[in-house]
Structure 1
Amino acid sequence: MTSRSVFKLKVLHHKDDESCSFLLLWDGGKKDIYISLKYPKELQLRYQRWQQRYCKYYQFPLPQPAQKTRSIALSSGDLAHDLREAEEELLTAFQRWLAEGEAHKIRDQIRDELTLAQTASARKQKFHRQHHLDIFLSCSSELARLPWEAWQLAPNGIPPGTVRIVRTTMEEQQGSIHTPLRRGKTRILAILADDPKLPLTEDWKILRSLRSIADIQRVTWEPDENPVGIKNKIAEAIASKPGWDVLFFAGHSNETTATGGQVAIAPDIFLSINQLEEQLTQARANGLQLAIFNSCNGLSIANSLTQLGLQVVVMREPIHNDVAVSFLKRFCQHLAKREDVLDSLLGACNYLQSEQKFVHPSAYLIPSFFSPPGASPWQPKSDGKGAIEPWLPTWREAIALSATLMVSLMVPVQDLLLDFRTFAQAVYRNTTGQFPPDRQPPVLLIALDQESINRAMVDIKGFEIKPMDREYLAKLVTRLANLNFRSIGIDYLLDTEEPKQDKLANSIKAAVSQQKIWFVFGIDEQSQLKVFPKIASSNWSLQGDITHSDAWDIELPKDATCTQSCPFAYILALSHILNQENAPADLPQPHLQNPTDFGLKISNYLKHENNQNQALAALKQQVHSPFGLRSIIDFSIPPDQAYKWMPALVFLKRNFPTSELQQGLKRQTVIIASGGYTDAEDNFSVPIAVSYWCHWQNWQERRKKDCPEVFTGGEAHAYRVHHLLGQHQLVLLPDILMIGLAAILGKWTTLILLKQKRQHEQKWVLVLMGTTVAYGIVGLQVYVSASVCLPWFLPSVMFWILVLQSQGRVLT
């Protein structure tokens, strides 16, 4: 909120001795200062010279006084330069006059009041964020055209707009200055004149920008209307109920001596203020408080309406249409932020002075605000929505938010952004050296790559690729059993009866009966594609679903004990934890003679297990993803830390030293899977992060190893098993959630920026850019430290769209 001090200043011009008397009143008229200054003839000449050059630049007819003093207005040929020179001379003469003699007493009193107000604000900072010192100025008609708003009364360091000049009439208003307040949303009546030489469509468009805070209606002349009809229509509209808060006029207007000013409402059709006095009085009784005349020569209009108890915004001189549009646009922008009318006017004038000075020189000196003495400047009301309304999105913001949300729901966009995010995360992890403590891969991936397939076609008679040759799989199983691996997962659907399947079945049965190896077979739960019974029985093997809703998701079971079904990677991780050399005596083991489902036995065991096995307890706990968020594969971890990739051809021929087996190879869980051969059905595009790790290792080891062109489903399963065993559960916050939060933060930021001075805009942009970068860095670290992936790109886009829209840089 703001605090306010009120002064009254009366300035009279005495023609007999060409002097001016100043009477400053404050404290309810109990205190005053009276001074007298000589009125310099030079000031009048400087004003006439400025007025002449102003009219010449904006191509208005030269005023009569200027025509009489044309000899003082020699032109350089650059009309804009001549106008700025005349303006500077006028303001210099004006400020010099107001600094003469005892005029300092007025300035000193104003500054003393400001000092007191600052002290009070410091004590009550939480209540008073800004102080206004309003000087209600009334002066003789000869002095009314001077730029009193430019009087430099505030000392350096005081924020602009602290000391405000409010013009009023010399005559004391009869009755109360308080206008009855209307209830409900602000209502604006716009009267738009009809003139082919004065297009007002832009005025109406700008005025409609206030429709979020006001109901706006307009009255215009129709070509078939006669003069009496249009006058009656305007008069009736002004006085109509439920009344108006603001009356707006755009068109031609002029000063008149006897009729209080006049406006042109249509070609050759005029209305005077005196003709509308009855309707305006009724409108004030209905709640009318403010009249805005975005038209020429409004001094007499302002005096007449102020006498009726209204606040008025007028132009004291002729105003070019382009200037009127620029002023109105910025003026309405300030009103839309619910600033009071005087602050809005000053904000628009500052804009004309600072950013339009080369296009519209001297235009900032023209607008003035009139008010009955002591009245607070009108301010748009909240219409009951209170603090919520500023947070409501504009239609452009709503479109931007909807478009961003729609883009975020597109699966290809999601995949692309996640791909780039994990790549950035890989670079960050590599740069900072933040890797998981245990770098020994828990998975041995036996990959049937193209080279292995080519060799198998030579070695095995009648070799089949689709479905994968059963004899070749049997060789791999036998080799693994001979090396005494504990858990083996086969990432192939073995759901059909095929030639040579007996060899595979015999190899599996031998491994189970002789080495007590746990087998996990891949199945398609949705399509009910399970292991062919003659290959393996569910009474002594486990089965896991190899399908996924998303290629890089880590599917988790609904039940940690796998009562019904479980994903392939989860069952494999469970097997790895349970089937150790020091396994409990009561742990069920696979036997070819088991009469019941082995999976159900394991499920019952898990239900009664008392969490003595910490690794098992940690695995079961991961089933409950925080808030049901997606768990995804973390490709920022190098593949060689997640799994050991070995071609099937190499595995079958290699002699493993006993030391290597004892040091960890046997403790790994094995996955037999596709290695990216041409006809494989689970070949995917290589994640950028995986490609990065390959190129990084090539560079680090100074080698020229070809990086893979595909990423297989088996590698994805290996990553999943690694994450489950290492308790590395990476969750992805939804883009929708973060975009929504970014929209709220962006809106909050725009509300703050709208209150800042324009000259600080570059500073704020740099701060916000730094904040965006900082959010990205924090997101990278949160990913590593808390295993939470915070979306960055689309939320940042949403945030900056809102910020840039508020600055008028985009979508305008």
Structure 2
Amino acid sequence: MNWLVVLRLGKGSWQQGFPDVTVQIGEDSNPRLQLTASLPPAPDLPRLYRNWQLFYAALYERLGWRLRITFYENEATVTNISEAEFHNICQQLKTSFNTWLRSEEFHPISKKLWQELAKKDQEIRLLIETDDVQVRQFPWHLWDLFKDYPKAEIALSISNYELVPYPAQKTPGKVRILSIFGNSQGIDLDRDRTELEKLPGAEIKFPTERSRRTISDELYRRSWDIFFFAGHSSTQIEQGRMELDDTQSLTIDDLHNALSHAIAQGLQLAIFNSCDGLGLANQLAALHLPQSIVMREPIPDRVAGAFLTYFLEAFARGKSFYLAVREARERLQALEDEFPCASWLPVICQNPAAVPPTWQSLRRIERHRLRVALWASVAGAALIVGLRSLSLLQGLELKAFDGLMRLRPAEQPDPRLLVVGATEEDLNQYGFPLPDSILARAIAKLEPHQPRIIGLDIHRPQVKDRNLIVQMRQNRRLIAVCKVSEGDDLGIPALAGIPDQRLGFSDIVYDFDGITRRHLLSLTPTPDSACSTQFSFSLRLALQYLAAEGIEPPSEAVLQLKNIVFRKLPPTTGGYAKLDARGYQILLNYRFPNVSQQVSLTQILSGHFEPNWVKNRIVLIGVTAPSAKDLFFTPYSESAESYQQMSGVIVHAQMTSQILSAVLDRRPILWVWSPIIEMLWIGIWSLVGGLLCWRCSPILFLVAGGTAIIALFGICFVFLLLGGWIPLIPAALALIATRGILAAYNTYQNRQQ
């Protein structure tokens, strides 16, 4: 955000003072503050300045400088000036000027300016609006205000101005410069030409014939961005004059129609790298030229060349117009040992209604680059969304999901569950499959301690032990398992005689890479399936536990427990492009590292456990020994090693805990955005990539793009902590793809050129 300060002096003069001074402070074209005050008469200032001019001109002649001015008779009447005398009058002028600006009458404005500008770290443009010729010629940059604000620069404007509309240029190109080299007697204009020719992205016209007709024809022939003049010039009776050669000279009035046409066609800037150009600038301001740079006094040839070099270097490398002028003006100070007051000479004349140009805007590159960046963003987003719809990103997305899951902080075990696992030692002692009598003894050991539910995650389609048969058929606390049919496999039935409300299928779904990320809650078995129950083992356990709490689902169409809705996954879910969504599935939100307290089968049979580990809990009995091969990969399985797999009974415990924790603890269920919102999200990050390409150099893009991807990762991780799985890989790829598309486009454009 740039700031604009307009200081309107109003009617008045050095002799009468300025009774109605107004200042406006605000953003460009949006003033936020206005104050009025006055400035007292200062009749000594014009006298001091005139003396300074005479001393300055006399110093020219004594030191033998080559000037870009032709002096007329009786203009310089002071001779034999020493540099010490000249320095003394410079100090007098500066001191008197700042004393005037510190006057009591002006204090409300000066105080407010210091207060307001002290808060700003952006560019500040200060426009002095006055029609008084003497006041406009004064070196306003001597104001002490500018010492404290290195990003501030001054410009002159007139009170009557207008913005001349011009046709917008839609295609990018080069900065078009009409360069007129006038009378070069006694000065070297080759340096100016060399500096102009070095400009990147510039198309410069150097007319070989220097005449009024030639210049007028060129101004009409095409639209120009910059009008440049170098050579001898002067101002007489408020009228500027450019010398074309020893016999020809031109005024702005001589080119009035041609310049008006050029301004209407988009002429933005006039640079007069010649002497005493304020008369030229004033006449161009009357034509509503957006801005010009002139020299307020006669200028030594070397100073003029140095200023042009410094300004063009700064402006072409991306500095704003005002800061480029300030940098060039301040760099002239290094020449002041040889050329005193060199930094006093350049001045901007600004049309307040116009926005100062940048080098890129003159090339129309900024707008074009932005358009290209936006189209590349659309193309990048469309490319990634298309790849995603074809399942080409599914593997990467699921791996990223697993990685984010593993980064989550550890959780406490669920206090409502106990897992009784048959370990390798248990199988070595009791055999595998576990004998019916061992299972009956384990259940009998648990019963006196009043578990709320016992879940037996061991298939027993046939039972020979009478005690186990009685337990399985008559124990209302016991939930048994069966396996539904799949293809030619008809499944595994449960023991006959167990009612359906105490049965749950043990089927666990996994993805193409073998990892279990989903939780199958219910399904509709086929008529020939050996397992006819519709509810999963985990859902049966959870529903029976919650029923004791007075919580039951109101309907079977949508699973809702209390105010928690378990929404069925559609075929397009998060990173899944074509999900087998049969049955009622949700995402599985693992509790890690331990879902619950766990004991071995031997501990239960030997009574080596605390009764409160069992009381009022869901107790799951299953086999945890790896040799049983009832193992599943999870997002926490970093490799294919068996010890990193999770036994089936633990997976069922995870699923049961997920339901209970969501309903009773409000632990988040994993959710995803709708496909439309996900596409918008991908589009946003593609746009981020486009905007970074628009604003950053290739090297800076690496830093900014890397920072953006780190931020994206952080956002996705925070969302996952809240239960949301949002696109990480597609968003990052969209940002990168946009950069790639723009790089390819730029390469193509460069080859075309």
Q: Normalising TM by the smaller chain, what interval?
A: 0.5 to 0.7
Give 1:369 deviation, angstroms.
1.5
Picking from 38, 56, 75, the partner of 1:44 is 56
Give 1:151 deviation, angstroms.
1.6
Instruction: Tell me the amino acid that sits aligned with residue 44 of structure 1.
Output: Y
Picking from 265, 273, 291, the partner of 1:312 is 291
Picking from 566, 573, 594, the partner of 1:622 is 566
Question: CA 1:662–1:165 in 2, change beyond 3 Å: closer, same or farther?
Answer: closer
Are 2:451 and 1:487 equivalent residues in the alignment? no
- How far apart are the structure 2 equivalents of 1:632 and 1:33? 82
- How far apart are the structure 1 equivalents of 2:89 and 2:685? 51
Structural mapping, 1:93-104, within 5 Å: 96-100=91-95, 104=99
Post-superposition CA distance 1:200-247 (Å, at most 9, x none): 688554x8xxxxxxxxxx6768xxxx9589999986674479xx7x73
Q: 1:328 maps to what in 2?
A: 315
Q: 2:415 maps to what in 1?
A: 440
Are 2:473 and 1:513 equivalent residues in the alignment? yes
Instruction: Tell me the amino acid that sits aligned with residue 720 of structure 1.
Output: M
Q: 2:268 maps to what in 1?
A: 290
Post-superposition CA distance 1:170-215 (Å, at most 9, x none): xxx9xx743543476799994247999747688554x8xxxxxxxx
Q: 1:253 maps to what in 2?
A: 230
Give 1:523 deviation, angstroms.
5.0
- How far apart are the structure 2 equivalents of 1:198 and 1:715? 79
Q: 2:322 maps to what in 1?
A: 346
Instruction: Tell me the amino acid that sits aligned with residue 664 of structure 1.
Output: V
Confirm or deny: 8 A CA contact 1:6 1:134 kept in the other structure: yes
Q: Which runs of 5+ in 2 are unaligned?
A: 23-37, 71-79, 180-189, 296-303, 359-365, 448-452, 576-585, 697-702, 739-753
Post-superposition CA distance 1:367-423 (Å, at most 9, x none): 532257xx6454689xxxxxxx99x96756887898799699755665565555455
Q: 1:572 maps to what in 2?
A: 537
Picking from 668, 690, 694, the partner of 2:618 is 668
Post-superposition CA distance 1:665-708 (Å, at most 9, x none): 783242646655597773357468x9xxxxxxxxxxxxxxx995
Confirm or deny: 8 A CA contact 1:474 1:504 kept in the other structure: yes
Are 2:128 and 1:134 equivalent residues in the alignment? yes
- When the two chains are superposed, the root-mean-square deviation of aligned CA atoms in Å is 7.3
- How far apart are the structure 2 equivalents of 1:47 and 1:798? 65
Q: 2:162 maps to what in 1?
A: 178
- How far apart are the structure 1 equivalents of 2:370 and 2:651? 42
Identity %: 11
Question: CA 1:726–1:151 in 2, change beyond 3 Å: closer, same or farther?
Answer: same
Are 2:593 and 1:643 equivalent residues in the alignment? no
Q: 1:111 maps to what in 2?
A: 106
Q: 1:6 maps to what in 2?
A: 8
SS, match of residue 261 in structure 2? helix
Question: CA 1:672–1:102 in 2, change beyond 3 Å: closer, same or farther?
Answer: closer
Give 1:440 deviation, angstroms.
1.8
- How far apart are the structure 2 equivalents of 1:91 and 1:645? 96
Confirm or deny: 8 A CA contact 1:255 1:297 kept in the other structure: yes
SS, match of residue 33 in structure 1? coil
Give 1:166 deviation, angstroms.
0.7
Confirm or deny: 8 A CA contact 1:42 1:93 kept in the other structure: no
- How far apart are the structure 1 equivalents of 2:399 and 2:176? 54
Are 2:41 and 1:33 equivalent residues in the alignment? yes
Post-superposition CA distance 1:452-474 (Å, at most 9, x none): 78x49x956xxxxxxxxxx4597
Question: CA 1:282–1:543 in 2, change beyond 3 Å: closer, same or farther?
Answer: same
Give 1:253 deviation, angstroms.
3.3
- How far apart are the structure 2 equivalents of 1:793 and 1:421? 12
Q: 2:141 maps to what in 1?
A: 150
Are 2:721 and 1:719 equivalent residues in the alignment? no
SS, match of residue 347 in structure 1? helix
- How far apart are the structure 2 equivalents of 1:90 and 1:672? 105
Are 2:531 and 1:531 equivalent residues in the alignment? no
Q: 1:166 maps to what in 2?
A: 156
Structural mapping, 1:453-464, within 5 Å: 455=428
Instruction: Tell me the amino acid that sits aligned with residue 43 of structure 2.
Output: I
- How far apart are the structure 2 equivalents of 1:779 and 1:46? 74
- How far apart are the structure 1 equivalents of 2:523 and 2:242? 89
Q: 1:280 maps to what in 2?
A: 259
- How far apart are the structure 2 equivalents of 1:186 and 1:360? 44
Count of matched residue pairs: 613
Instruction: Tell me the amino acid that sits aligned with residue 109 of structure 2.
Output: L
- How far apart are the structure 2 equivalents of 1:358 and 1:452? 91
Structural mapping, 1:763-774, within 5 Å: none
Give 1:725 deviation, angstroms.
1.4
Confirm or deny: 8 A CA contact 1:574 1:616 kept in the other structure: no
Post-superposition CA distance 1:260-309 (Å, at most 9, x none): 44899xxxxx999787543212334x365732439777937646634544
- How far apart are the structure 1 equivalents of 2:693 and 2:148? 26
Give 1:732 deviation, angstroms.
5.5
Post-superposition CA distance 1:471-518 (Å, at most 9, x none): 45978866665556632345x9x9xxxxxx867999997754354533
Q: 2:749 maps to what in 1?
A: none
Q: 1:18 maps to what in 2?
A: none
- How far apart are the structure 1 equivalents of 2:612 and 2:379? 58
- How far apart are the structure 2 equivalents of 1:787 and 1:6? 60
- How far apart are the structure 2 equivalents of 1:798 and 1:3? 42
Instruction: Tell me the amino acid that sits aligned with residue 8 of structure 2.
Output: V
Confirm or deny: 8 A CA contact 2:268 2:357 kept in the other structure: no
Give 1:152 deviation, angstroms.
1.0
Confirm or deny: 8 A CA contact 2:517 2:587 kept in the other structure: yes
Give the TM-score normalised by structure 2: 0.56
Picking from 539, 543, 550, the partner of 2:505 is 543
Confirm or deny: 8 A CA contact 1:137 1:165 kept in the other structure: no
Confirm or deny: 8 A CA contact 2:270 2:291 kept in the other structure: yes
- How far apart are the structure 2 equivalents of 1:552 and 1:229? 83
SS, match of residue 670 in structure 1? strand
Confirm or deny: 8 A CA contact 1:445 1:718 kept in the other structure: no
- How far apart are the structure 2 equivalents of 1:91 and 1:556? 93
- How far apart are the structure 2 equivalents of 1:563 and 1:363? 91
Post-superposition CA distance 1:320-375 (Å, at most 9, x none): 67634443247x665xxxxxxxxxx3333456689999999999867532257xx6
Are 2:668 and 1:729 equivalent residues in the alignment? yes
Give 1:425 deviation, angstroms.
3.8
- How far apart are the structure 1 equivalents of 2:593 and 2:395? 24
Confirm or deny: 8 A CA contact 1:522 1:546 kept in the other structure: no
- How far apart are the structure 2 equivalents of 1:403 and 1:357? 50
Give 1:442 deviation, angstroms.
1.4
Instruction: Tell me the amino acid that sits aligned with residue 531 of structure 1.
Output: G
Q: 1:210 maps to what in 2?
A: none
Structural mapping, 1:603-618, within 5 Å: 617-618=561-562
Confirm or deny: 8 A CA contact 1:488 1:671 kept in the other structure: yes
- How far apart are the structure 2 equivalents of 1:46 and 1:422? 82
